[in-house]
Amino acid sequence: MSRSERLLTLIQALRRHRRPVTGAVLAEDLGISIRSLYRDIATLQAQGATIKGEAGVGYVLKPGYMLPPLMFSEEEIEAIVLGQRWVAERGDESLSKAARNALAKILSVLPPDLRDEAELSSLLVGPGEPLSVGDQELAQIRAAIRKERKLIITYSDKAGETTQRTTWPFAVGYFDRVRVVVAWCEMREGFRHFRTDRIHALEWIDTRYPRRRAQLLTEWRRSEGISGL
């Protein structure tokens, strides 16, 4: 196994363990000595991987995605740049920032001539309608989704009636003018859609909901007759 392959294997090994892992265990996994492991960790860190090593504890990998070298066509890069510009323009503040960071990371590794090319990429995103109310809460909602946490929301439906519901949020739909939270509603015992601009209040309760997000998503898709992706 080449060294560069091994580095990817190391990332995956780190990811498998949620709790801190000692270097000795990782070295055993990879079939290398501790000394080499330290060198590999250092190399990964130099490449931008966020591996934290604590004396007396072990290593933890800050959740993230390490991508190996990749080749994209011109048009694929155009699609990526355009997509990130759209998210930067239309996403909530936190997601927008992530999009700008991701784009900056990609651009920063391109040779200067290509970077200019991509920065000046000719695909532009027009400003959207002013952000609908409730966009600030979107970051919170996305966090709840990622952590599979229950969310109590105060919601006004189309008829104007306001209710308070405990929900299991698992997706956000981005439409041109509105964002919609897709969730299981405990009150109605069914899937419900909530426009973010009709959500008045959000309460995060630190309780994990009893189902897996992915499973809810596929079930909801089936119930709505939406094919995969």
Partner DNA sequence: AGATTGCTGCCAATTTCTGGCAGGGTTTAT
Partner DNA sequence: ATAAACCCTGCCAGAAATTGGCAGCAATCT
Q: In the complex, which residues of this chain contact DNA (CB under 7 A)?
A: 2-3, 6, 21-24, 31-33, 35-36, 38-42, 53-59
Q: Does 214 bind a second copy (CB under 8 A)?
A: yes
Q: Does 189 bind a second copy (CB under 8 A)?
A: no
Identify what 174 binds: DNA, a second copy, none; CB under 5 to 8 Å per kind.
Answer: a second copy
Give the chain's end-to-end CA distance (angstroms, integer): 35
Nearest approach, Cβ of residue 110 and DNA (Å): 23
Cα 83 vs. chain centroid, distance in angstroms? 15
Identify what 205 binds: DNA, a second copy, none; CB under 5 to 8 Å per kind.
Answer: none
Cα(111)–Cα(108) distance, integer angstroms: 8
Nearest approach, Cβ of residue 138 and a second copy (Å): 10
CA triple 18-20-23, angle to 5 deg: 125
Q: Does 83 bind a second copy (CB under 8 A)?
A: yes
CA-nearest of 68, 106, 70, 71 to 85 is 106
Cα–Cα distances (Å) from 216 to 145, 153, 209, 212, 223, in that order, read 11, 19, 11, 6, 10
Q: Does 110 bind a second copy (CB under 8 A)?
A: yes
Identify what 76 binds: DNA, a second copy, none; CB under 5 to 8 Å per kind.
Answer: a second copy
Q: Is 145 left (phi over 0), alpha (psi -120 to 50) or beta?
A: alpha
Type of residue numbered 221: R
Produce one character per residue of 165-185: b if its CB has 16 or more CB atoms within 10 Å, e if not. Answer: bbbbbbbbeeeeeebbbbbbb
Identify what 206 binds: DNA, a second copy, none; CB under 5 to 8 Å per kind.
Answer: none
Sites for a second copy among residues 115-144 (CB under 8 A): 116-120, 122-126, 128-129, 142
Place of tokens 């079939």: 31
Q: Does 52 bind a second copy (CB under 8 A)?
A: no
Identify what 77 binds: a second copy, DNA, none; CB under 5 to 8 Å per kind.
Answer: a second copy
Type of residue numbered 92: D
Identify what 32 binds: a second copy, DNA, none; CB under 5 to 8 Å per kind.
Answer: DNA
Among 33, 47, 136, 162, binds a second copy (CB under 8 A): 47
Q: Which residue lies nearer to a second copy by CB, 69 or 160?
A: 69
